[in-house]
Amino acid sequence: MVAAALLHDIGHLLHNLPADAPDSGVDDYHENLGARYLQQHFLPEVHEPVRLHVAAKRYLCAVDEAYLGKLSEPSVTSLYLQGGPMNDDEVAAFETEPYYKQAVQLRYCDEMAKNPNAVTEPITSFITDLEKSLL
């Protein structure tokens, strides 16, 4: 989970779109780009939650009325580019994904990380977690 949380948005670095692409109505599909890159180097416990973290946002907006209100403005903008809250069939399909619970946990971590007052450890403190997650 630590490696997935650290790397879940790496896909934003793997495309040639401008940083404000969502403001222009463009979805960068960063979850897919990131997962494809990470699966070359990391265990499924890392790349699968990354692949599913956008779907997890859509899922949580469908199953938790309060979750949408907790999203940052850019996250709300991207939510609608990514399909909006899931419908009942999408929720059921998402819950069949082997790593869906980890993806939901990753979403909660992602939201907590947007707190500008959050205190984090230096990147070097995560080296062991990253190394244990490599193929």
Parse the chain into domains and list their residue ranges. 2-13+22-132
Residues 6+ positions from 50 with CB-CB distance below 8 Å: 4, 7, 8, 10, 11, 31, 34, 35, 38, 106
Residue 17 main-chain phi, psi, to 5 deg: -80, 155
Residues 6+ positions from 102 with CB-CB distance below 8 Å: 1, 4, 45, 48, 49, 52
Distance CA(131)–CA(41), nearest Å, equals 10
Average confidence (pLDDT) over 53-59: 98
pLDDT-based confidence at residue 72 (cuts at 50, 70, 90): confident
Average confidence (pLDDT) over 5-21: 92
Which two three-digit tokens encode residue 33? 């780009």
pLDDT in tens, 80-94: 999 999 999 999 999
pTM, two decimal places: 0.93
CATH superfamily of 2-13+22-132: Hypothetical protein af1432 (1.10.3210.10)
Q: What percent of the chain has pLDDT over 70?
A: 100
Is the pLDDT at 79 greater than 90, yes or no?
yes
pLDDT-based confidence at residue 111 (cuts at 50, 70, 90): confident
Q: Are 6 and 120 in contact (CB under 8 A)?
A: no
Average confidence (pLDDT) over 62-74: 92
